Structure 1
Amino acid sequence: MSSLLHRLIARTPPRVQRDTLELELDDGRRIAVQRVRDPRARRLKLSVDERGARLTLPPRASLVSGQRFLDEHRGWLAAQLARHLPDEAMPALVPGQTATLPLRGGPVPLHWREGRYIRIARDDAGIDVQLPARASDAALRRALRAFYEAEARADVGRWLPAYLPGLPRAPRQLRLKVMSSQWGSLAPDGSLALDLALVLARPSAFEYVLVHELCHLLQANHSPAFWREVEARFPAWREERDYFHREGRQLKGMLRALLGG
């Protein structure tokens, strides 16, 4: 069979379709729900994480049945949103009004002033934000992300030298990303990726994740041998793992709220 004929008769795999709908909760709040029609889905499913609510529909489910499913689970959805996205964990970034920013496990005072260009930096009083009068929200969020990245790199730069002597090589490069579920990863080429939300966590938890990923340079798995390497370098790793179980979703949610998604 020719390659052209094969392409003509080959069945195009169904694609995932996404859109967004609005739902009013019992308390009057209106929330956005991502609606996903997934060809692999077998049933209607409603889920919530730090990014918000998601309704998954199987291929033959109607939009009406999906809406009915949402309506029937309003109470459950409100409870899950409160657990995953508590109001106090979602600080808005409002120029001239936001009083603190989360950093290294706690709120840091934020001071606003007008200037010719956007600049966010630490000083003795907290975090200083210089902002032009007509600066866009997008530009401010980009500056905030750059600030958090610089702070995270500074932390890694302080901790990394102490761990390098016991490793076969240094990480090839460091990337800071907004991750959905992971806190870090190590690629086969030695590139290290860390979740930017780590800079909002307490420093000991951030350092644990760094050590965890560095130990993958020794053991590319989660075998007992891997955990022995972690234990030797960071004996309190269990406490930090429990911290992420308690606070992880809140940390990721805070970062997404501040950076706009």
Structure 2
Amino acid sequence: MPVLPGSPPVEIVLKRSARARRFSLRVSRLDGRVTLSLPARAREAEAMAFARSQEGWLRETLAGMPTREGVGIGSVIPVEGRLLRLVASTGRGVRMEGEALLVPGDPAQAGARVGAFLKALARDRLVAASDRHAGVIGRRVERVTLRDTRSRWGSCAADGALMYSWRLVMAPPAVLDYVAAHEVAHLVEMNHSPRFWAVVERLYPGWQVQRKWLHAEGQALHGFRFGD
């Protein structure tokens, strides 16, 4: 992977495209990854020269990216749209109680334990929402996979398998429900045509509100590091 030297050095992902007519730089709002798109026949040296010409803008953009906050006892995180504070506790499992998220065990492992709790909760919520929406349109979800994706909140494969970001469980429940409806709608239309959005509207009327929330607030869900 080419690197733009400096302090700190910046790794750049080169992405060749037959459709590209010029060089373009993009910084991911989710993870800070720098991608330089270039025409298929362009030389890497020319691409890196372009990157150097944009170095001022690039470093300014990267400096403004939010850093990931390590989660531990005392941290406040969103869980199903509610802000809960991690509190050391006794017992066997992480549990929600009022405005607190009670975390037993070694405090040094609190972030990892909460991450595992959120993933299990996300699976319960997303499987239930996916099956419910699929039932409305007479389709079947083959399997649900959770990942910590940076570029998308969900996806649908041609074989009926759905993938979601487990961080959706940190968003308000209505947002998670909309994303499940969106991906289930792809079981009918594997595109984003007007027919697809008609299916989404049938499954989740008024989906535009939740979509706007994701665009405005979704990035913040990636700002927490759970020890992984």
Deviation at 1:53, TM superposition (A): 5.1
Q: What is the percentage of aligned positions where both structures have the same residue?
A: 24
RMSD: 3.5
Q: CA deviation at 1:63?
A: 7.6
1:34 aligns to what? 11
Q: Which residue of 1 aligns with 2:103?
A: 129
Query: Within 5 A, what are the aligned runs for 1:238-249?
Result: 238-249=208-219
Taking a change above 3 Å as real, the CA distance of residues 126 and 154 of structure 1, as seen in their structure-2 partners, is farther
TM-score, with structure 2 as normaliser = 0.76
The aligned length equals 220
Helix, strand or coil at the partner of 2:180: helix
Q: What letter corresponds to residue 219 of structure 2 in structure 1?
A: R
Letter in 2 for 1:49: R
Q: Is the Cα contact below 8 Å between 2:88 and 2:104 reproduced in 1?
A: yes
Q: Residues 113-128 of structure 1: matches in 2 within 5 Å? A: 113=89, 119-124=93-98, 126-128=100-102
Q: 2:60 aligns with which of 78, 86, 103?
A: 78
Q: Structure 1 stretch 199-208 or stretch 211-220: which is displaced more? A: 211-220
Report matched runs for 1:153-232 at 5 Å: 153-160=123-130, 162-232=132-202
Whole-angstrom distance in 2 between the partners of 1:164 and 1:44: 40
**1:193 counterpart letter in structure 2:** M
CA contact (8 A) 1:33 1:52 kept: no
Q: Measure the CA separation in 1 of the matches of 2:144 and 2:120.
A: 12
Query: Structure 1 length as normaliser, TM-score?
Result: 0.68
For residue 92 of structure 1, the aligned residue among 70, 74, 79 is 70
The answer to whether the Cα contact below 8 Å between 2:111 and 2:225 also exists between their aligned partners in 1 is yes
d(CA) in 1 for partners of 2:119, 2:211: 23
Q: Secondary structure of the residue that 2:70 maps to in structure 1?
A: coil
Distance in 2, matches of 1:65 and 1:165, equals 51
CA gap 1:63/1:159 in 2 versus in 1, 3 angstroms:
closer
Partner of 1:234: 204
User: Judging changes above 3 Å, is the alpha-carbon distance between structure 1 residues 141 and 20 closer, same or farther for their aligned structure 2 residues?
Assistant: farther
Larger of the two Rg values belongs to structure: 1
Q: Cα distance, 1:154 vs. partner?
A: 2.5
Residue 83 (structure 2) aligns with:
107
Contact 2:27 2:34 (8 Å CA) reproduced: yes
